[in-house]
Structure 1
Amino acid sequence: MTETAARSIDGLKDIPYPSATSGSEYVSGWRVSVTLLTLFLVSSISQVDRILPFIMAEAIKLDLSLSDTEVGLLTGVPFAVCYTLLSLPLARAADRGSPRFVLVACILAWSAMTAFGGMAASFLMLAFTRFGVAAGEAGAFPAGHAIIARKIRPERRGMAIGLFAMGMPMGAMMGFAAGGAVADTLGWRVALIGAGAIGGLIALFALVVIGPMAPLRQAASGESFLRSSARLLAAPAFRWLFVGAIAVGFASAPFYAFAGPFLIRVHGFTASEAGLAFGLLQGLMGIFGTLIGGRMFDRAVQSGTGRVLGPPAILFLIASVTTTAALFAPAGWVSVALLVPGMLSFAFMLPWAFGAGHLVAGRGNEAQATSLMMVGSGLLGPALGPLMVGMISDAATGAQIPNGLALGLLTVPVASVLTAIAMLIANQRIAASFARR
């Protein structure tokens, strides 16, 4: 499938698109590897900076005399709202201007705020720096995907998106391991300042490696990013992708928030045992899922049928069954093993969902498509999903129903089924548009 053909998918041909380039920006040889390494480092350090307060929460709470509510505010709903909503204008800037400039500016912004967080003397100052981290990170993924679309040839983009996404589980593993070790030996402030300094170095590396990128020429439409987002969401294929992203958020957020407490409460795991079992498997599944998912997506696109979402939909259906079984398994090790398909499904989905979104949106709108998918998965699910699980668990416990947390966590397989349905409908829509061409 050519990039020009992708512009007409599912009725989006009326959107004003930038002029296609001749492909002269595509990199080749060792530059491909260096570009992807750079984006992997960006994704990794963004995840490290985001999750450091989780592993260091007790030390921060003690040092600044914070309440649990204040700790929750540092990493909860306000962070999610700031991160997801700011991604839209930053994605627009990456699509219409220089994604390299947007990416480097965002890295410098969140790295500086991470370092300033290590100097915070109060809750308000630390909260301000976390909002700054969210604002900076909001543009990283959209700009990174825009760079991939401009620098990496179409037949390798699924793998490129997978490598970029692989930085998330790698960053989480490094953040929990290195962040905890540094915090225990040198203190949480040194950990934040050190992470900010590393981010600054990566920003300079990205500035040199990626190289100048001229803005794409576009038709003079004067259309705002909100209106263009509405037009994209009006396309049936992308609308179902967006619904699937929302469902993923309701599946993944409670899964990661309560899987550890579930193993501790129901199966008697210690915190270290739950963290080791769940954290290690989640990291490995994240690496495996993003890489294999990216490669399989490339093959699906090259088939020319337009059926580019079937495998992740099937995996989510399988995960819904195994996750349900895990919640009522008699032994802890059986429960952990049955949670693995769920871990894999979330990582495997990333290159498929983003790649399909890019196909539907067309050239010059990749960052905006990524941003909208991030809004779908990162706003409602993380804000409401864990709350729903907690309310169901509390109600079941109050009614003296055993294993109340497992009942609450049934929202995860339900959301997984809804994700699969949305992906299958989007898959049918995209395939139908291919058949009409």
Structure 2
Amino acid sequence: MAINQTLPQQGDADTVRNGKGGFVLGMLCCVYVLNFLDRQLVSILAKPIQDGLQITDSQLGYLTGFYFALFYCFIAIPIGWLADRSNRVKILSLACGLWSGATVACGMAGNYGQLAAARMAVGVGEAGGVPPSYAIISDTFPREQRGTAMGIFNLGPPIGSALGVAFGASLAAAYDWRVPFYVVGAIGILTAILVYFLVPEPVRGRFDPPPVLDAGVPRPSFGRAIIGFFGNKLLAVAALASGAANFITYGLANFATLLLMREKGMTLEEVAIWYALAVGLGMGTGIFVSGKLIDRFAVRNKAAYATIPALSLVLALPFFLGFAAADRWEVALALLFVPLFLNSFFLPATVTFVQSEVAPDARVISGALLLLVMNLVGLGLGPTFVGIASDFFRADYGGHSLRMAFYALAPMYLIAALLFLWLARLIKRSSATGVA
């Protein structure tokens, strides 16, 4: 029996126009804000946590990077496979409740081991957050609107980071570093309940043409789905390039607050205002603009999915170096604004590209596999590298060891840009020959 695929109907288009699509996107973006806010609290409050629990830069790097990513990345794969065969909204809701409860546990940690265990639990929960959301968006908005929709959804990280900085730093300055974990965790549990009851599950493939399938052909197995993703050179290189870009993003984000406070004289109160504004405006406008650029240029030239991220990374590099070199936090923050704007251009581009390249019933697993590479390389290794490098340089550079670690991170900009240029070349070749 052939798999029946729903064609786009007038009612589907009306769903987007009458605001229901906007409500769904808004709720998903809200969950992503909490996802990233919970994830970034440890990095934002790194200085008081280090002072309270007596942990080193290397331990902080493992905590915010490798330990979190290990569970986040690999749990996301079976969850993605399951979500492609079940209700994606319910999985998203349950995941949000789990990571929010684990966030509360982070605030209760009395030592490094307990905090590490709670962070791993946050990673397990957040593994069920983003991949189902990608698929829900792809089945809520038609292809010509997905770049913008993904761009709006991916405002979650900058909004979450900005709120985390402003909200978390303010509460920590007024009370204690543990309080933000309790408050944010409670808000997340409430949000999970709202998602469960208010967000509808869209029809799979509603805006996609029906595939030509032989009768009786079952859906791909878990193993075949993985092989199919990594066996497609376009998807594999897109994931690798995004991982390299994410290496920069997380290496910078997870230690920027610590660098500004330790080496450039910024206070926690100043972080709550000025760094929060820089993150919110810089990352937020960058992701939104990149989504618009993708919708405008990728329709005419598919290689724009890769050339736009490559160009953005090259342009960001000199400003990143200036940020690391500046002695005053005011100058450093002004220079940092440009990388904050440009560093995440790759995210809407890559996500939209992958979601458009795969079949509707493989979107969640494909999103999970993309995040596996992006976050295993970026989230798992980026902060870990910066933390280890900082401790390595401490003997020779003392109080400027973290600055030197950022200098060591800089070459990754060029590596990531070259990988995206390779992807652009593969896309052009594929468009010309019809072979991936």
What residue number does 1:153 align with? 142
Deviations 1:100-122 (A, max 9, x none): 12211211222233345556677
| Cα pair distance change 1:18/1:100, threshold 3 Å | farther
Q: Report the secondary structure of 1:247's partner residue.
A: helix
Alignment pair present for 1:355 and 2:344: no
Deviations 1:117-168 (A, max 9, x none): 5566776665544333211111111010010011111111111111111121
Deviations 1:315-357 (A, max 9, x none): 1111123323444457665443333332112222211111112
Q: Unpaired segments of 5 or more residues in structure 1? A: 1-16
Alignment pair present for 1:176 and 2:165: yes
What residue number does 2:37 align with? 48
Deviations 1:231-253 (A, max 9, x none): 21222211211221221132223
- 8 Å CA contact 1:74–1:130 kept in 2: the answer is yes
What residue number does 1:6 align with? none
The counterpart of 1:103, out of the listed 71, 92, 108, is 92
- What is the CA–CA distance in structure 2 between the aligned matches of 1:20 and 1:42, rounded to whole Å? 29
Alignment pair present for 1:256 and 2:253: yes
What residue number does 2:312 align with? 315
Q: Report the secondary structure of 2:298's partner residue.
A: helix
Q: Unpaired segments of 5 or more residues in structure 2? A: 206-210
- 8 Å CA contact 1:290–1:348 kept in 2: the answer is yes
- Identical positions, percent: 26
The counterpart of 2:23, out of the listed 34, 37, 56, is 34
What residue number does 2:121 align with? 132
What residue number does 1:417 align with? 414
| Cα pair distance change 1:93/1:400, threshold 3 Å | closer
- What is the CA–CA distance in structure 2 between the aligned matches of 1:403 and 1:267, rounded to whole Å? 10
- What is the CA–CA distance in structure 1 between the aligned matches of 2:113 and 2:318, rounded to whole Å? 44
What residue number does 1:86 align with? 75
Q: Report the secondary structure of 1:46's partner residue.
A: helix
- What is the CA–CA distance in structure 1 between the aligned matches of 2:168 and 2:264, rounded to whole Å? 28
Amino acid paired to 2:156: G
- What is the CA–CA distance in structure 2 between the aligned matches of 1:356 and 1:158, rounded to whole Å? 9
| Cα pair distance change 1:187/1:19, threshold 3 Å | farther
Equivalences, count:
419
- Could you tell me how far 1:203 is from its partner in structure 2? 2.1
| Cα pair distance change 1:232/1:18, threshold 3 Å | farther
Alignment of structure 1 residues 51-70 onto 2, 5 Å: 51-55=40-44, 66-68=53-55
The counterpart of 1:427, out of the listed 412, 417, 424, is 424
- Could you tell me how far 1:80 is from its partner in structure 2? 1.5
- Could you tell me how far 1:195 is from its partner in structure 2? 2.5
Q: Report the secondary structure of 1:379's partner residue.
A: helix
What residue number does 2:341 align with? 344
TM-score, normalised with respect to structure 1: 0.82
Amino acid paired to 1:89: P
TM-score, normalised with respect to structure 2: 0.82
Alignment pair present for 1:368 and 2:365: yes
More divergent stretch after superposition (52-61 vs 279-288): 52-61
Deviations 1:207-242 (A, max 9, x none): 333214466799744644344223212222112112
What residue number does 2:184 align with? 195
Alignment pair present for 1:165 and 2:154: yes
